Amino acid sequence: MIARLRHRANRSTTEPASAAFDTNPGEVDPALPQAPSSSDVSDQVRRRRTSRVIVFGLIPVIAMGLAVAAGYLKWQQGALDDSGRASVESVRAATDAAVKMLSYRPDTADAALRGARDDLTGPFRDAYAALVNDVVVPGAKQKSISAVATVPAASSVASSPTHAVVLLFIDQSIVVGSDAPTASSSVVKVTLEKISGRWLVSAFDPV
């Protein structure tokens, strides 16, 4: 009996310690980490390269889109600024021209009304000059006619860098000889063209 126990003890000491736990040496423990295969590594590298290509490809597109948007906004703002500037300038030019055209005194009618022609252009300028020379100036001198025009209100109807339409509300007071002043009011649509940096009246139409 003692000899048999010794034999068993000797057998247990000669076997490796891992043999007591390794029930099936041919199987891999799923709990242990495994090294990635070469195909897995290749897939990961390919995905990274694809992501980089997409990112670097989108950056120029996004940058170009932002540049186009910024350019459009700048152009739009510039167009609005130009339109607003044209509106203000054309209203002021129409107002000044109307006051000059409709204001005069017997002793200065010739020079004043001819000077008003400098603010006009085209066929309207010629028609106004003919009216002044043939009717207004002779009548002012013969009948001692004076006229004073004011523009209490004005509004821009349309404007661009070279063309504008303005609506004027005009009050005019006329004195003939020693008579009492006669007041009148009218609404006039004034068309202007910008020529050589100046807004000139090309039409003067009562509404």
pLDDT greater at residue 4 or residue 134: 134
Asked whether residue 20 is domain-assigned, the answer is no
pLDDT digits (tens, 9 = 90+) for 53-64: 555 666 766 666
Residue 5: pLDDT over 50: no
pLDDT digits (tens, 9 = 90+) for 65-97: 666 666 655 655 555 566 689 999 999 999 999
Q: What pLDDT does 23 receive? A: 43
Least confident stretch, 15-19, 81-85, 127-131: 15-19
Q: What pLDDT does 84 receive? A: 83
Q: Which domain covers residue 147, as residue numbers? A: 70-206
Task: Give this prediction's pTM.
Answer: 0.62
pLDDT greater at residue 99 or residue 6: 99
Can you give the CATH number for the domain in which 201 is found? Answer: 3.10.450.230
Tokens linked to 187:
């609404």
3 contacts: CB under 8 Å, gap ≥ 6: none
- DSSP, res 100: H
Asked whether residue 114 is domain-assigned, the answer is yes
187 contacts: CB under 8 Å, gap ≥ 6: 167, 168, 169, 170, 206, 207
Asked whether residue 9 is domain-assigned, the answer is no
* pLDDT confidence tier of residue 20, bands split at 50, 70 and 90: very low
Asked whether residue 143 is domain-assigned, the answer is yes
In the chain, % of residues over pLDDT 90: 57
pLDDT digits (tens, 9 = 90+) for 154-194: 999 999 999 999 999 999 999 999 899 999 999 999 999 99
Q: What pLDDT does 9 receive? A: 44
Single out the residue of 193, 188, 194 nearest to residue 206, CA to CA: 188
Asked whether residue 37 is domain-assigned, the answer is no
* Total domains in the fold of the chain: 1
Asked whether residue 25 is domain-assigned, the answer is no
Single out the residue of 74, 193, 49, 44 nearest to residue 124, CA to CA: 193
Asked whether residue 190 is domain-assigned, the answer is yes
Asked whether residue 34 is domain-assigned, the answer is no
